[in-house]
Amino acid sequence: MATRARIGYVKEDGTIETSYNHWDGYPSALGKTLQEHWTDTDKLAPSVAKGYSSDWGIDEESIVRNNPNEATLISNSKQELMQSGFSWGEEYIYVLDNDEWTVYERNGFYYQLADHLD
């Protein structure tokens, strides 16, 4: 069963660009990969811009993209992002801001990713 997530970052203009990820979106899988390999916005931004991923990897070459034509989502605020992402069925939304990941869960709970990983 898929654990859907959205991966993104805060852009210089304050908007948030995210892309959809289908598999293993929970913090102990996708979250751990993001925390260990994707804390640089300059590295993350081009990968997010490519859109949909079936499975996010440790680098661009290891990201599985079965539907590369699905566009990214640009949100004007975190509240707008939560409304859109969670209404489409995502269970987790990961946002990189100032080199720190915040995880937003569908139940309204959010936290700094680094504080919740072993």
Kindly report the pTM of this predicted structure. Answer: 0.94
List, as own/partner pairs, every contact residues 36-39 make where C-beta atoms lie below 8 angstroms and the sequence separation is at least 24, other chains included: 38/96, 39/96, 39/99, 39/100, 39/101
Q: Is 48 exposed, middle or buried (0-12, 13-18, 19+ CB in 10 A)?
A: buried
Please identify which residue in the block is written with the tokens 């990820």: 21
pLDDT digits (tens, 9 = 90+) for 52-109: 999 999 999 999 998 767 789 999 999 999 999 898 889 999 999 999 999 999 998 9
Distances (CA, A) of 4 to 20, 27, 40, 81, 90: 8, 11, 23, 15, 5
Query: Range of 37's domain?
Result: 5-116
Domain count, the chain: 1
